[in-house]
Structure 1
Amino acid sequence: MAPHHPEDVGMKAERSPRRAVAAADRTRQPTEVRRRLIVEAAVPLIAERGYASVGVRDVAAAAGVSVGTVTYHFGSVQEILSEAMVLQIERYYAALSEAADRATSGAEGLRLLVDALFTEDTDRHWRMWFEYWNAGEHHPDQAFARGQDRRYESWHQQIRTLAERGVTDGEFSCDDLDGFTVRFAALADGLALQRLRQAPPLTTQDARRHLNHFVETELRRRPGT
């Protein structure tokens, strides 16, 4: 859940067209553009149906290309899922990271983080996130698992950096930043899962409230801040 690692999936992070184009134009598209087109089309399918319910034909139809084009560029739907999650990570966390970097304090950065994690628009992201981890349990390629590990490590580092900034600036007092980071990430994942399952019901406002309460409890405010 942090800036992507292109080497994990062999794609470049440059911008490419996001819409299917006319058949006459597809032959002129470079490989990277075609791959991006296919992945873009797969994102909503995976988010809405789940990874296990999406097949090559579904992706091809959504992208407006032939099945042969999909299988030429990707070895499996799971490979497409990997790149689709990279796109989600890019879009979801790039803006979040920039906002956190512009925050005037570690406390403000953490508030921005919590607010961005739970909105009415983030359910798709969380569905993709859990599909991504579930796919890793069955993926035979160790590179897939290593990519997951690096992304989660980057996500932990982002959380820890904000908390550490607050401690350094004198806003907070915390004796175990590593422990705080692990618990914050775990609680965020747990709240996201409950939010998706709605068992018991959980609003975005309540999810934020629980996570903010955790931050306030774990990172003790220093007098005068």
Structure 2
Amino acid sequence: MTAAKPSQAAKSPRRAVAAADRTRQPTEVRRRLIVEAAVPLIAERGYASVGVRDVAAAAGVSVGTVTYHFGSVQEILSEAMVLHIERYYAELSETAEQASSAAEALRLLVDALFTEDTDRHWRMWFDYWNAGDQGTDEAFARGQAQRYEAWHQQIRALAERGVAEGEFTGDDLDGFTVRFSALADGLALQRLRQVPALSTEDARRHLNRLIETELVRRSPA
């Protein structure tokens, strides 16, 4: 008598598959999830201290999954910084647009640039600078230049708005834009290093003083 064939249930069990691997998501969705997981890692540890294993653990996927979707850890971290920076400045733009005047918009912009929670943003911003200096990726360099340009355009647009609405006078809006951006970056670096010590209130005060000096309020008619 022939032996009975083993049932399906009697076959050797398959190796368990992680939930993230069981879910077949489009490539762009999976890439986005990995990048999203990298953002807080960079903010907490810094760009240079995050590796592919850290990102994989945070995203809940295998190292192989990460390396399948990205050619290098630098590619992941660059995209994560871009994602964070785009969100940050989109929120600043939205805040400024909702202001009732250019003066209020600039004040809200200054307030948003320096809070106890923005130190992490500034760390990422300077990491983003360094990544551009160290890399040879032309696409990354173009994207970085576009973000700098967009930031300058946002500042200048607010100054132009104040002049157009009769709130400010100013004959060097391009110069004001450069000086505002440079001062904000310099204050942020001093704020992070605390040499010499700089509070968020003092950082705001310096920027507001620049606005008051260069964009003079017009006297009521």
What's the counterpart of residue 19 of structure 2? 24
1:181 to 177, 181, 185: 177
How far apart in 1 are the matches of 2:117 and 2:19? 35
TM-score, normalised via structure 1 length: 0.86
Residue 16 of structure 1 corresponds to which residue in structure 2? Answer: none
Structure 1 CA distance, aligned partners of 2:199 and 2:68? 43
2: CA distance, partners of 1:73 / 1:224: 60
Q: Which runs of 5+ in 1 are unaligned?
A: 1-21
Counterpart for residue 71 of structure 2 = 75
Cα displacement (A) at 1:143: 1.0
> Corresponding residue for 1:53?
49
* Cα shift at 1:75: 1.3
Q: Is the CA contact (8 Å cut-off) linking 1:100 and 1:113 kept in structure 2?
A: yes
Aligned length: 204
* Pair 1:100-2:96 in alignment: yes
Question: Which amino acid counterpart does residue 217 of structure 1 have in structure 2?
Answer: T
Which structure ranks higher in relative contact order (CA pairs < 8 Å, sequence separation ≥ 6)?
1
Determine the C-alpha separation between the residues in 2 that align with 1:76 and 1:124.
Answer: 24
Q: Deviations over 1:64-95 (max 9, x none)?
A: 11111111111112211221122212321222
The answer (yes or no) to whether the contact 1:81–1:132 under 8 Å persists in 2 is: no
Match for 2:89: what amino acid? Y
TM-score normalized with structure 2 length: 0.88
Contact kept in structure 1, 2:152 and 2:181, CA below 8 Å: yes
Q: Root-mean-square deviation (CA), in Å? A: 1.5
The aligned residue for residue 219 of structure 1 is 215
The 5-angstrom pairing of residues 1-225 of structure 1 reads 23-26=18-21, 27-224=23-220
Paired amino acid for 2:32? R
Separation in structure 2 between the aligned mates of residue 153 and residue 82 of structure 1, nearest angstrom: 18
Identity %: 82
Secondary structure, in 3 states, of the residue corresponding to 1:108? helix
Q: Return the alpha-carbon distance in structure 2 between the equivalents of residues 81 and 47 of structure 1.
A: 11
Letter in 2 for 1:184: F
Q: Which runs of 4+ in 1 moved over 4 A?
A: none
2:181 partner SS: helix
SS at match of 2:207: helix
Give the 3-state SS of the residue equivalent to 2:141 in structure 1. Answer: helix
| Structure 2: gaps of 5 or more residues | 1-16
Distance 1:197 1:48 in 2: 16
User: How far off is 1:144 after superposition?
Assistant: 0.7
